[in-house]
Amino acid sequence: MHALLALALTLTAAPATPAKKPFSAHDLVRLERVAKPSLSADGKRVVYELRETDWDANKGVHSVWVLDVGTKETRRLTAPGVESAQPRLSRDGSAVYFLSPRDGKQQVWKLDLAGGEPQAITALPLDVTAFAVAPGSGRIVVAMDVFADCPTLACSKQRFDARAAKKNSGQLYDQLFVRHWDAWKDGTRSQAFLVTPGATSEPVRLSRDIDGDVPTKPFGDDEEWSFSPDGKTFFFTARIAGRTEPWSTNLDVYRVALDGTPRPVNLSHGNLATDTGPVVSPDGKHVAWRAMKRSGFEADRYGIMVQAITGGTARELAGGWDRSADALAWSPDGKTLYAIADDVGQRRLFAIEAVNGGVKALTDKGHVASMAVGQDAIVVAMDDLRSPAQLFRVPLPQGAREQLTHHNAERMDQLALGDVEQFSFEGWNGEMVYGHIVKPAGFVAGQTYPAVLLIHGGPQGSFGNHWHYRWNPQTYAGAGFVAVAIDFHGSTGYGQAFTDSISRDWGGKPLEDLQKGWAHSVKTYKFIDAARACAAGASYGGFMVNWIAGKWQDPWKCLVNHDGIFDARSMAYTTEEQWFEEWEFGGKYHEHPEGYEQWNPVHHVGKWKTPMLVIHGGNDHRVPLEQGLGAFTALQSRGIPSQFLYFPNENHWVLKPQNSAQWHETVEAWLKRWTKK
């Protein structure tokens, strides 16, 4: 009887909750990625971009989605598997514009949200790489790569076709840049053209007489553009190139009339540092942009400049705010400018009063990636160390954020993530330094775990509260490791003096911060098994791994160096952006070699002893391939256990889904090999 009762109770008991699977790189690369919200004027509708992974094709595919803010219902607007990107709502919110190569060449398309099929708005002979729709008229500004001396698009098309038909492949250069980021220069420039849909006339080149790329390369996009509210004037960013381009950070903001004979006017010619991202006030009277002050420095503080739209003297808004603005947008009433900026390990949304420069944070913890401003709220794409990006509504003037999208919710509910904590300690010179620690997935109190110290690149960057798609601490947590990340001196979001402090001191203050931060972590978090720890980093982080190999070997069972600098002299003569090296090390190598050699890992190879995994991409022109090969050769010549992972089709980053999975699997296997009990 008792046995039957027990059986009955067993059969009627609630089913056990299935155990969650530890998060892995395969989960990471398959996540849907939310980005680029565009908000209707009434605030009721948002269109946004969603990136999905086509694993078999080894690429990401973008689609356009729409969200009803009131009901929070989302629906796909473009067909699955058909690349559709950079969505922008029309002024009245009735239609969405986007880029798609569905007819062979990438063009601008328009889709009525009431229904129907997408319609091609442009039919140009060259690919459109970016676009913006002028208010009122329906005219479109597009960017295309053209030959600067060609008077027509047909001329550029003929020259592209002739080049493709040639049997010889030699390219002759007489000035730098011969290559930039991941591409060799081919004699073309990205230029801005005004297109009137339906017209048969030749598009009008708005960036006339600009010897530079519009938008700028390699990462410029339509955030470098803006229209006046009446749609008659276009503002854009450009850097005059010529022979100075490899040494110049002098981007400028230009104004050009869309009617008559367009001739750009430089609004920021008095500043020889970077000026970028113009946005025009709703009344059309002022233009604001972000500006650095020091020429030749790419990580200077971005201040906010405001100038009359007709020209004159620009004034800095919130000059005492010691943060660097990363994006700008006006409020509909023109009384406020909104900005995104790094701030103590977070990336927050701020409101800046347009008259007196008063600053107020609108978000707290997390990483704001982009924003779309409405009358009574701002929609942001936001993520953190425990969640990929979702869209949130932030009420104005200030209120608790409200989540609007839930992409990946079902998948993430089945995965075990590590708990996250931000910590601080006294670093170099007793100054406060911050970091994050992520516990292993399935953490059990009383147990100890192997650990990995993650070192960010930049060097002026941050390993903050951000869901990263290449260096994500949760992949290490899923593999059973404690992940520790420290924002050493030189990191962004802690004031410009803190950011500046790394220049010409690459192996000094940052190394001390890492050492003190690691000691603090081991002392504070007793679950770290300090006898089973490795250090890993990319770019500057890879340099630091090479530096650690000769300067701080004792704590580490292994090292991982991705795209790291090995020989500072070789780097100085082979990297493309010369301004970076010369600022960071105090001048040109032949004029100031001691600045480079002081922090050159190659001089300390004789002390290397720690097993190291070296990874490098064949298309990396920022830190050329020979830097990785040099480090691997040094390891092999000394008989130190080492491996070299080479990606012939990747640049400074690993972007292809299957390559990313291989990268993580190789790194995790290396860490486990050297940290097993």
Residues taking part in catalysis: 539, 620, 652
Q: What are phi and psi of 513, to 5 degrees?
A: -60, -45
pLDDT of 452-499, one tens digit each?
999 999 999 999 999 999 999 999 999 999 999 999 999 999 999 999
Round to whole Å and give the CA distance between 390 and 396. 19
What's the pLDDT at 312? Answer: 87
What's the pLDDT at 16? Answer: 54
Mean pLDDT of 164-192: 96
Q: Does the structure show a pLDDT above 60 at 14?
A: no
Q: Identify the CA nearest to 234 among candidates 133, 330, 308.
A: 133
Report the CATH architecture of 416-675.
3-Layer(aba) Sandwich (3.40)
Report the CATH architecture of 324-407.
Beta Barrel (2.40)
Domain locations along the chain: 21-96, 122-156+178-317, 324-407, 416-675
Q: Model confidence at 310, in pLDDT bands (50, 70, 90)?
A: confident
Q: Could you tell me the pTM of the whole model? A: 0.95
In sequence order, what DSSP letters do the residues of 545-594 get, joined into one string? Answer: HHHHHHH--TT-SEEEEES----HHHHHHH-S-HHHHHHHHTS-TTT-HH
pLDDT of 533-591, one tens digit each?
999 999 999 999 999 999 999 999 999 999 999 999 999 999 999 999 999 999 999 99
pLDDT of 507-536, one tens digit each?
999 999 999 999 999 999 999 999 999 999
pLDDT of 16-61, one tens digit each?
557 899 999 999 999 999 999 999 999 999 999 999 999 999 999 9
What's the pLDDT at 9? Answer: 34
What's the pLDDT at 330? Answer: 98
Q: Does the structure show a pLDDT above 90 at 653?
A: yes
What's the pLDDT at 17? Answer: 59
The separation between CA 46 and the C-alpha centre of its own chain, rounded to angstroms, equals 23
- Rounded to the nearest integer, the mean pLDDT of the chain is 95
Round to whole Å and give the CA distance between 313 and 295. 19
Q: Note whether 446 and 347 are within 8 A (CB).
A: no
Q: Model confidence at 242, in pLDDT bands (50, 70, 90)?
A: confident
Q: Does the structure show a pLDDT above 50 at 7?
A: no
Cis ω for the linkage preceding 118 (within 30 of 0): no
- DSSP bridge partners of 140: 133, 195
What's the pLDDT at 28? Answer: 98
Q: Does the structure show a pLDDT above 60 at 15?
A: no
CATH for 122-156+178-317 is 2.120.10.30
Mean pLDDT lowest among 142-146, 397-401, 666-670: 397-401
Q: Parallel, antiparallel, or unpaired: how do β-strands 119-120 and 130-133 relate? A: unpaired
Round to whole Å and give the CA distance between 54 and 6. 49
Q: Does the structure show a pLDDT above 60 at 13?
A: no
